[in-house]
Structure 1
Amino acid sequence: MMKQNYQLHYQKVRVETAGPGELTLILYEELYKSLNLARSQFENGDIEQCRHNIYRSRDILQELLVTLNMDYDISKQLYQLYDYYLRRLSDFIVKKDIEILNDVIDFAKGMVETWRQALQIVKSGNE
């Protein structure tokens, strides 16, 4: 219990002190974490918790969608990606095909890695 409180406090402080780039990374990390939990729960037959984490993942993708600044071409491309993976999660809910979920997990993992690298490049350029 104490460890969980510490983790919640850490996450709260992390979000409150993060800049826009770090907030996006946090969303990608939470997306990846929720999807992995959903996969584990699905494999263990805990469909209700799996569904909860799938809906949480959809909420995160929706948040990423609505925060895009559409003045940039990259935002239009990200919009299409997020929309596609939202539909893939809907497909998983209906078909219960683990390969669909794995596809979305691979996307989330790639975004975490890419965004971390981008933030590192920005930070090293500002020093």
Structure 2
Amino acid sequence: MYAQNYARTYRANSILTASPGQLVLLLFDAALNSLAIARKACDESVTDPRKLEVVHSQLVKAQKIIAELQGTLNLEAGGEFARTMYRLYDYYDRRLLEANLKKESAPIAEVERLLGEVRNAWSEMLRQQEGTAPQAALHHVA
């Protein structure tokens, strides 16, 4: 019980004290976590109603997070790169919708892999340039 309270407090504090760039990274991590849960549930059994509900709820959660990431893109300042990311997020959403309708894990795995690459690139950029213009140009993080 106490461990859960400490974990919840730690998560809340990490969000409240995170930089805008780190908040974007937390969104990537949350989406990837939901995708992993959905893929695992989908692989385990597509006939178990409880597993189907897990797949559905986790995919919807990931789609909402991806929509939030897409919504924070600064298309004016980010130029062609931000527009490309916008289209990529659209692609992720369509693939997850397909995965949810068909209850197939392949599209989930694809989005998980692609989003993981974007997440790792974002993380690397934060390590190299925390608080600089390239980060602010892509997402509304200032």
TM-score (ref. length: structure 1): 0.90
User: Which moved further from structure 2: 38-47 or 80-89?
Assistant: 38-47
How many residue pairs align between the two structures? 125
* Matched residue, 2:74: 69
Q: Distance in 2 between matches of 1:28 and 1:86?
A: 14
| 1:97-116 mapped onto 2 (5 Å cutoff) | 97-116=104-123
Query: Alignment partner for residue 47 of structure 1, among 45, 52, 61?
Result: 52
Amino acid at match of 1:70: L
Structure 1 stretch displaced more, 67-76 or 28-37: 67-76
The 5 A counterparts of 1:1-127 are 1-45=1-45, 46-71=51-76, 72-73=78-79, 74-123=81-130
CA distance in 2: counterparts of 1:107 and 1:3, whole angstroms? 34
User: Residue 50 of structure 1: CA displacement?
Assistant: 1.5
2 CA distance for matches of 1:24 and 1:84? 19
User: How far apart, CA to CA, are the structure 1 residues paired with 2:4 and 2:93?
Assistant: 29
Q: Tell me by how many angstroms 1:109 deviates.
A: 1.4
Classify the secondary structure of the residue corresponding to 2:75.
coil
Deviations 1:68-127 (A, max 9, x none): 11112221111011011000001101222211111011012112211111101114x8xx
Q: Is the 8 A contact 2:25 2:119 kept in 1?
A: yes
Superposed CA RMSD in Å reads: 1.7
Shift of 1:48: 0.5
Whole-angstrom distance in 2 between the partners of 1:90 and 1:66: 18
Tell me the distance in 2 between the aligned counterparts of 1:18 and 1:31: 17
Q: Kindly provide the amino acid, as one letter, of the partner of residue 2 in structure 2.
A: M
Percent identity over the alignment is 30
Amino acid at match of 2:42: F
How far is the alpha carbon of 1:35 from its aligned partner?
0.4
The TM-score with structure 2 as length reference comes to 0.81
